[in-house]
Structure 1
Amino acid sequence: MSSTPRIAVIGAGAFGTALASVAAASAGDVTLIGRDAAAVDLMRASRRNEKALPGIDLPPTLSFSADAAAIRGAGIVLFAMPSQAQREAARSLAPLLAPGTAVVICAKGMEKGTGRLLTEVLEEELPGREIAVLSGPGFAADIAKGLPTAMVIAARTAETGAWLAQALSGPTFRLYPSTDRIGVQLGGALKNVLAIACGIIEGAELGDSARAALISRGLAELSRFVAAHGGEGATVTGLSGLGDLVLTGTSHQSRNLRFGIALGRDGDAAGWSGDLVEGAFAASVASGVAAQKGIDMPITDAVARIIDGSLDVKTAIGQLMTRPITQE
């Protein structure tokens, strides 16, 4: 593996731009690829992505392209599009990705309709490539501003994980390698569901004690879900589980938390006008998978039913508080 590979980032939203920015600041040969040619031209001229990261200057070494063919020859390609777009992107980009290319999933979710992990999806569409996952507590604006951030990169082997961590880390952006791709992915996906639950508690004005209880019990059911899928339950206590949940379940920068606040305050999401909420997809998928596998996931089930309108917040809280008392 090359110690200084060329890096391409697919997806010029906030997170993709932030990752490209920190990689370019330390690695040098990095290209950010977006679909909108006019927006890409504007970023190239202004050295900013004002729509996604207003007021933040991008490194002079960062290159831009609206041509997907710019990924040819890249040793590392970051997929920074939403989780539900990963399969289509992989299928369309497959002819451009050489065997052995490291493809890093930078979305947090499971495939809607199949309940499959994104590593499974990409390994199906991109055979012969190294599929890794980047997850953990990191808001795009904080990363792009150079604020200290630590996340996890999980790969199939320890060697690949260490190489990717070295290639993508920078002075203010630290990646910890892992080989538990299952635990890292499910932690990233389901913490979004739990962040929505934290928002519901805040919107319904149920208090900080309720939020603390939800975080601890939510981690318990997340651990059960990870273990049932063959991952390591202990992974959820690290950056990609607890760390990410503390961030997204308490900060109003989190779309999932704000979405949950709207649910808790208004009783439904009819008034929500924000961006895509990954946790809304993940709640339905995880609840269905848990039912199929017989995994006890009361908080996730409640969030899924509140979102689809089959359960109101007051009834959900009552059901959770009157469950049989068991050992912690």
Structure 2
Amino acid sequence: MSATERVTVLGDGGWGTALALVNARRGNEVLLWSAFADYASQMKERRENFKFLPGVPLPPNVRISSDLNEALDFSDLIVIAVPTQFVRSVLKKVRPLIRGKKIFVSVAKGIEKQTCMRPSQVVYAELGDVPLVILSGPSHAEEVSRGIPTLVVAASKQPEYAIKVQNVFRDKFFRIYVQGDAVGVELGGALKNVIAVAAGVCDGLGFGDNTKSGLLTRGLFEMSRLGVKLGANPTTFFGLSGAGDLMTTCFSQHGRNLRVGRELGKGRKIRDILKDMEMVAEGVDSAEAVHELCQREGIMIPIMEEVYNILCKDKDPKQAVSDLLSRDAQEEWKQY
């Protein structure tokens, strides 16, 4: 293992906090930044992220701050752990405060709704060609924070930075693989959230294991099809950030996107579901961005399109399922 490092985590959500805990467990010094001064003070006093990761104490080597300047000066390794739709606004504040070389680690799993850009593209647009690593995979914060063995992947167009993150973050419970397909790794994390909404709809409608397994298999094919069109390696989607994350999200009690889909399947409206949720379900906004991407690229992804119709067009989930099942017959492995 490498020597003790300093790591800054931007974002006080469950996943950002879990990564802070991974690094603290590793012996690193961590600064966890919150955009909300009052909440940062409460976390500091209680030594717990009681909203987003309750019941898990924050050790002494995790500092808590709402001062962005302090957060950026604390470390040269900066984890961007805010929801996708807020990445740009945070980075606009980050840009004038950067001093010296920083390595950024993006862990957001979504697509920006207004621009259809991946989080990494937003990073480059706001900060220039900075060193950037994508960290993704099947990794519920509730499990990672408690030291339950977890495997993820770090990807970068500059391999030395992915290896840096691998060495700094990994411990005996948090294993990190590296690879070079940053586009595929990032898309896997975003697209699986849309499929997870569909899986939840199946649960809410009372369907069984046959339905969900078929849905996930075809959903994975759709993820790969769109990914290839956007420059990804198709095999990436059968790794940790694709199939691995998809399975975890769609079969776990922790899955927020699955929960949204389940409630939709039971007949609730999306606006009412989101009102009751404290945490962000990335698949909801990503579904709209994916729809726009597919229109632009001329790609057919029927399952994700029906998720868009349910979320954005108020389509009846039962009708969406019926329309999917009544599509023209075709070969299983139609070309990308």
TM-score by length of 1: 0.95
Which whole-Å CA distance do the structure 1 matches of 2:315 and 2:45 have between them? 50
**1:128 to partner: Cα distance:** 4.1
Deviations 1:128-164 (A, max 9, x none): 4212211111111111111111111111222211111
Cα RMSD, aligned residues only? 1.6
For residue 253 of structure 1, what is the aligned residue in structure 2?
254
For residue 11 of structure 1, what is the aligned residue in structure 2?
11
For residue 294 of structure 1, what is the aligned residue in structure 2?
298
Which whole-Å CA distance do the structure 2 matches of 1:251 and 1:192 have between them? 13
Cα pair 1:268 1:309 within 8 Å, conserved: no
Deviations 1:246-268 (A, max 9, x none): 11111121110000001111153
**Is 1:189 paired with 2:193?**
no
Deviations 1:34-80 (A, max 9, x none): 12333323323332222221111222221121211121151210111
For residue 320 of structure 1, what is the aligned residue in structure 2?
324
For residue 225 of structure 2, what is the aligned residue in structure 1?
224
Which whole-Å CA distance do the structure 2 matches of 1:281 and 1:85 have between them? 12
Which whole-Å CA distance do the structure 2 matches of 1:287 and 1:52 have between them? 30
For residue 206 of structure 2, what is the aligned residue in structure 1?
205
Which whole-Å CA distance do the structure 1 matches of 2:20 and 2:44 have between them? 13
For residue 55 of structure 1, what is the aligned residue in structure 2?
55
Q: Per the alignment, in what secondary structure is the counterpart of residue 175 of structure 2?
A: strand
* C-alpha distance 35-113 of structure 1, shift in aligned 2 (>3 A): closer
After TM superposition, the structure 1 = structure 2 runs for residues 262-273 of structure 1, keeping only pairs within 5 Å, are: 262-266=263-267, 268-272=269-273, 273=276
Which whole-Å CA distance do the structure 1 matches of 2:268 and 2:21 have between them? 39
Which shifted more, 57-66 or 16-25?
57-66
**Is 1:306 paired with 2:310?**
yes
TM-score by length of 2: 0.93
Cα pair 1:27 1:168 within 8 Å, conserved: no
Cα pair 2:137 2:242 within 8 Å, conserved: yes
Q: Per the alignment, in what secondary structure is the counterpart of residue 145 of structure 1?
A: coil
For residue 20 of structure 1, what is the aligned residue in structure 2?
20
Aligned residues: 327
Which shifted more, 212-221 or 171-180?
171-180
Amino acid at match of 1:291: Q
**1:317 to partner: Cα distance:** 1.1
Amino acid at match of 1:315: Q
Q: Could you tell me the percent identity over the aligned residues?
A: 35
**1:310 to partner: Cα distance:** 4.3
Which whole-Å CA distance do the structure 1 matches of 2:165 and 2:98 have between them? 17
Cα pair 1:187 1:241 within 8 Å, conserved: yes
Amino acid at match of 2:156: A
* C-alpha distance 49-270 of structure 1, shift in aligned 2 (>3 A): closer
For residue 242 of structure 1, what is the aligned residue in structure 2?
243
For residue 280 of structure 2, what is the aligned residue in structure 1?
276
